[in-house]
Each structure stands twice: as structure tokens, then as C-alpha cells.
Amino acid sequence: MILSGFRNTKLFIDAANRISSYVHHTPLLTCETIDRMCGCEIVFKCEHLQKAGAFKSRGAANAVFSLIESGFQGAVATHSSGNHAQALSRVALYAGIKAHVVMPENSLTSKINATRDYLAQITFCTPTLEARETTLASVMAETGAVEIHPYDNRDIIAGQATCAMEILNEIQPDFILAPVGGGGLLSGTALAAAHFGNHVQVIGAEPAGANDAWQSFKAGYLIPSVNPNTIADGLLTSLGQLNFPVIQQHVQDILLAGEREIIDAMRLLWERVKIMAEPSSAVPLAVVKANPDIFHNKKVCIIISGGNADLDHLPWTKE
């Protein structure tokens, strides 16, 4: 039985139709060398080739255009140092509304520039969660902008689900693996599998250094992220309130990967598959390599969630 609030298939079909002009239908890629190495058949879903370089464009498009359809003409706002900021700014530009983005002042120049290219109004703050939240609150109070949360939002989840809907429309894998940070992509993927899959198992892949989703999943209640430490900078956030019950009910398991394994998997994706995965996107491959027994001879689809890596500081470059 699909979790209440997400039971209506129409929620997902509508999302797919709503965003189709604003996002790419991304390609699937395979690589003989990786298959030999892992002992299974892997298909990569290339969301690094998505608009603004990450799956986040899907959720942002669904959330913004849902608002527009309901007659909304105001501004939207979020705090983000990364892919959600770019995705939301880009979509707001297309929708003809203003986007306010609170960014920590230590954000990467490339991410600041990309967000600025989409004409977002950027407000900088000190790089703590508290500063981000209070700055966002004051920006919203001043401008009347509506917050679009990066993952703890039903329209965002339905938007992220469209990625797995595309996968399941083209192939029938035994497993789909997605990285888990706040849980937007993982919960969307699990719901897509529940609605449109044929016995496909959805597995979350999380860095051992930021394992709050794994802890919460095992404990059965939400345990927030405390001092997470991982190169996978997209996965530092705590699991969302709305995302956790979906994951509990519809995700088969969450598996962990160490930092060395994540970097090795990232290098393998770059060198052999020519996929410019950002560190977060390498976590599922690291998990598959570390668990040959689970995936042996299976058809495994890995979602490459984004490609916005810091080209000036690649993890294998000697400084």
C-alpha cells in the first residue's frame, strides 16, 4: 500500500507533463569495463546532463510551475550552496518570477556565478545552518517570497520521481540506487518504483561519514545529522520530515560507502565512463562495488544525481 499523500498516480503523471518542456529527458549509459569489474549489469541514468547539472531541476520545475498554475505571481526563495539554488533560479527565470537565494559566503565561485547567470537575487550569510535559516526568514519577510524547500516538499518529491519514471519507461532493472542526503531524490525514486515499477528494489546509498539516513532507517525514527564529514557535499543535510516515512515504507535498504571508496568510484566514473559525477553521485557505484554479493549478475540502475564538481579541486589532485 502506497503511503498516504502520495497514493494518487496522477500526482506523478502531472509532474512529468508539467516539467517536460523545462528539463531534459536524460540518457542512459553503460560501460563494459565497469560491468566486468562489478560482476553485474549497470545502467547509469545521467542526471549530470540535466539542466543546471543535476536532478534538482526536476523538483524545482514541478514546485514552481505548480505555484504558477495555481495563480501565484510572487517570488520564491531558498537557502542553498549548491544545485538547488541553480535549479530554482533557472526555473524561476523561465516562469518569469523572481528567485531569492541565500548562499553561505564560502560557496564555490562557480556555483555563485551560475546562480547569478540565472538572474537570482543572492544574499550571502555566514556558513552555518542557523545563519542560513535566519537570513532566509528575513529575506522572506522583506520580499514576501515563498520558500521552496530543497527536499521537504511534496511537489519537489513528485518532481524528483520523474527521473525514475523515465528509467522504468525504458528498462526493467532489478535495483535502482540513488544517493541520499535530505531524501528528495530517494523518496521520489521509491514512489516512482511503487507506482510504475515491476518488483524493482530501491536502495539508498549514503556516505558513512554522513549516515543519518542509515541510522534513522535502522532505528525507525528520525535521527538528525550531527557533524557530518564527507567529500560528498551534496549529502550533508539531515533527512526531511516528509521524506523519512516514504523511505521507511518504500526503500529496501540503505547501504554505506567510505570516503576512499567514494573517491575511487568517482575517478572510475570519470576515467572509464566519461561521466563527470560530482562526489555525491559516486556513492551508489561505491556501494555496488563494496557489496558484490547483493548485486551479482543483477541489472542495476544507478542515478548519477549531478555533475557540478569543483574542477579546481578534484579529490585525486595533489595540492
Binding site residues, a copy of itself, CB under 8 A: 27, 29, 32-33, 48-49, 51, 53, 110, 114, 117, 267, 270-272, 274-276, 307, 311-312, 314, 316-317
Residue 42 CA to residue 173 CA, distance in Å, equals: 9
Residue with Cβ nearer a copy of itself (10 or 318): 318
Residue with Cβ nearer a copy of itself (201 or 308): 308
Residue with Cβ nearer a copy of itself (54 or 192): 54
Residue with Cβ nearer a copy of itself (124 or 270): 270
Measured between alpha carbons, how far is residue 53 from residues 15, 127, 198, 203 in Å?
A: 20, 23, 29, 23
Question: Is the separation of the CB atoms in 207 and 264 below 8 Å?
Answer: no
CB of 270 to a copy of itself, least distance (A): 6
State the DSSP code for 273: I
Categorise residue 258: left if φ over 0, alpha if ψ from -120 to 50, beta otherwise. Answer: beta
Nearest residue to 289 (alpha-carbon basis) of 316, 252, 262: 262
Measured between alpha carbons, how far is residue 276 from residues 45, 92, 306, 307, 314 in Å?
A: 12, 26, 8, 5, 11
Residue with Cβ nearer a copy of itself (218 or 272): 272
Residue with Cβ nearer a copy of itself (57 or 189): 57
Counting Cα atoms < 13 Å in the Cβ hemisphere of 312 gives 4
CB of 238 to a copy of itself, least distance (A): 28
Residue 259 CA to residue 261 CA, distance in Å, equals: 5
CB of 13 to a copy of itself, least distance (A): 25
For residue 126 the three cell numbers come to 555566514
Using the structure block, give the residue that is written with the C-alpha cell 554479493: 293
Can you state the angle between helices 109-117 and 83-95, rounded to 10 degrees? 10
Residue with Cβ nearer a copy of itself (48 or 195): 48
